[in-house]
Homo-oligomer: A and B are copies of this chain.
Amino acid sequence: MVLTLAAIAARLHLRSGGLVGVVAALALAFQVGNAGAEGPQIANFTLPNGLEVVVIPDHRTPVVTHMIWYKVGSADETPGKSGLAHFLEHLMFKGTAKNPAGRFSQALATIGGQENAFTTADYTAYFQRIAKEYLPLVMEFEADRMTGLVLTDENVLPERDVVLEEFNMRVANSPDARIGEQVAAALYLNHPYGRPVIGWHQEIEKLNREDALAFYHRFYTPNNAVVVIAGDVTGDEVKALTEKTYGKVARVAEVAARVRPQEPIPVAVRQLTMADSRVAQPSLQRSYLVPSANTAKPGESEALEILAQVLGAGETSRLYRALVVEQRIATGAGGWYQGTALDETRFGVFASPLPGVTFATIETAIDGVIAEVAEHGVTAAEIERAKTRLIADAVYAEDNQATMARWYGAGLTSGGSVEQITTWPARVRAVTPQAVQSAARTWLDKRRSVTGYLVKELPANQEKRS
């Protein structure tokens, strides 16, 4: 059981950790063996209306994490309506005929529950953490709003202002977010992953009730959702509960296969420079177009996970050691891999130069580190350390229950299966040094990349005009 938990948290760390560092607990010597096969007794079934349910028993405390995941994200939006998936996530709190706006959240507050929601390119999810006796209540509420949402101009238009304000806070006023948006847009020439999850401002501004309802009726249906319950419950209990609640929700739509426009083979080395007077420290980030767990050949995504650890995770990583410790040219450096994605995904490296150090110097150093791995591979010790860390991290994760639920939810709405998720630790353990070297050689090809430079002012030869 521990192993699976560990792998889940490790995976999750990569996902949510994004550009920042790594949890400290590394050195733990961990018995890996075959224990993975003895992971939690996960129940997985599908109701007649098409709703998939995953139950991850965890009896340590009488608490339950309840999540519902819809297989729809910003990459499923109609072009020109960017931000709609995220906007609908906000609108899902506007109430139904049976439960007017506020009642669900108030009920949660009364019982001491927590709730949240999030949207990515591939999925939209809603979750609650509650004492176990309230699980039926929460399921009733979620089942009700799966198809019963009531939207009016009076509740839609003010929420659009809320989202626009969120855009201002999270994107417009954040140079880091803006350059991330620009790098993604430059990396994806054809695939909708190039579109920001929150949307383009001029398109968010025009979203309306009709757009939201059309999107809702197209994607919010039991046959396009996965309920994940982690906590002090059994599969049988949950089965009975879901049948009584979600089981009564009729399908409202047949959902088409999620076939998005794919990327052409990348051929151009791309760079972009963005200036913002609020930038205190210049930084560089590079994204490479690489396979995801869902598009990779067997073993390839796992090798990229290890490669990201060796190159970029924490202060023992090659990038950190070379740029920060040895060459003393950067204040920080690292790398990451976003494995969980339905379509071709990103492998990133990043660094912040010390004052007076040019981007050219930083890039030469980064390129040297990558070339070294591509040409000579990594050591067995580095790989072991990476594997141990990927597995060990989770043991110390603070919130395993939510972490596990998130991992299953994200995996199942990004092309994966329960079986693929539970066998992931074994597949990570099987990664060879050759596979890691091959991943670096094949995928960290600069023609597959966009490098973004974030600066306070454009250099003289890139001034505003001319």
Contact = CB atoms under 8 A, between A and B. Distances in A.
Given A182-B268, A461-B364, A194 B189 contact: yes
Contacts of A466: 366-368, 370-371, 374, 444, 446
Contacts of A44: none
A268 B200 CA distance: 15
Interface stretch (A61-69, A127-135, A254-262, A395-403): A254-262
Interface stretch (A30-38, A243-251, A271-279): A271-279
A304 to B, nearest CB: 15
Contact of A182 (B261, B267, B464): B267
Nearest to A187: B186
A192 B259 CA distance: 18
A343 to B, nearest CB: 12
Contacts of A185: 189-190
Nearest to A465: B374
Contacts of A182: 189, 267-268
A271 B270 contact: yes
Nearest to A368: B466
A274 B264 contact: no
A209 interface: no
A464 B440 CA distance: 12
A94 B82 CA distance: 38
By CB atoms of chain B within 10 A, which of A186, A268, A269, A272 has the most? A268
A447 interface: yes
A462 interface: yes
A300 interface: no
A192 B461 CA distance: 30
A456 interface: no
A363 interface: yes
Interface string A427-465: 000000000000001001111000010000010011111
A168 interface: no
A200 B374 CA distance: 30
B268 A452 contact: yes
Interface string A381-418: 00000000000000000000000000000000000000
Contacts of A464: 445-447
A103 interface: no
B80 A79 contact: no
B452 A465 contact: no
A165 interface: no
A201 interface: yes
Nearest to A267: B274
Given A185-B189, A458-B269, A465-B444, A201 B264 contact: yes
Given A79-B192, A465-B441, A268 B272 contact: yes
Contacts of A178: 267
B370 A465 contact: yes
Contacts of A259: 80
Given A195-B190, A465-B374, A203 B261 contact: yes
A276 to B, nearest CB: 9
A80 B260 contact: yes
A444 B466 CA distance: 6
A240 interface: no
Interface string A147-190: 00000000000000000000000000000001100100110011
24 contacts: A79-B190, A79-B260, A80-B259, A80-B261, A182-B268, A185-B189, A185-B190, A186-B186, A186-B189, A190-B195, A201-B264, A203-B262, A268-B274, A269-B274, A270-B271, A270-B272, A363-B461, A370-B466, A371-B465, A374-B466, A441-B465, A445-B465, A446-B463, A446-B465
Given A182-B268, A270-B270, A444-B466, 8 more contacts: A79-B260, A182-B189, A186-B186, A189-B194, A202-B264, A367-B466, A368-B466, A371-B465
Shortest 7 CB-CB contacts between residues of A and residues of B: A367-B466, A371-B466, A80-B261, A268-B272, A185-B189, A370-B466, A182-B268
Interface of A: 79-80, 82, 178-179, 182, 185-186, 189-190, 192, 194-195, 200-203, 259-262, 264, 267-274, 360, 363-364, 366-368, 370-371, 374, 441, 444-447, 452, 458, 461-466
